[in-house]
Structure 1
Amino acid sequence: MRLKFEMWEYREKPDAEINGYMSRFTDGKGIYTDSWWCSPPASIDHVGPEYLRQRYRHPNVRNARHEQFIKSRYKEEIQRLKER
């Protein structure tokens, strides 16, 4: 299975305004974790490995390859969402 990272807008109710963003990281074993971002920055390149591995972020991040993959995909996803 391949690594996967995706993000989408979060709304408390279907027609409500956006209350943040959700992200989902799926590791090579097919295990996924979801995380909520209230006001996500344009980039997370500055964060260390301990930030992504927190239990309320993506605790299935196990190595540097996962970290770099998420940081790269995060930039792409947040740019896509902010351009809407």
Structure 2
Amino acid sequence: MADAFAAMLAEEQGEFVPAQGQYAATPIELSDEVIDRIAARVADRLTRGLLGQNLTRTVSEVSERLIREEIERIRFGGQPKNS
């Protein structure tokens, strides 16, 4: 327990403390195929989640605005509206 507190104190003071004991990380090698599969899963989860909902809403809002602007432009004889 004392080692854990000493490590936390050293970390707070900006000292590098290598991991020890059961919590030490073991380096692993990942193939490009595994990395690609992980990236695809992350992207899929993002697009199905909140990001996907926000993207759908944003695209809908922008599309509606562009359509309204185009209709307005056509009504005024093809002249672009000055904003």
Fold match (TM-score > 0.5): no
Higher strand share: 1
- Greater relative CO (CA pairs within 8 A, separation 6+): 1
TM-score (norm 1): 0.25
TM-score (norm 2): 0.25
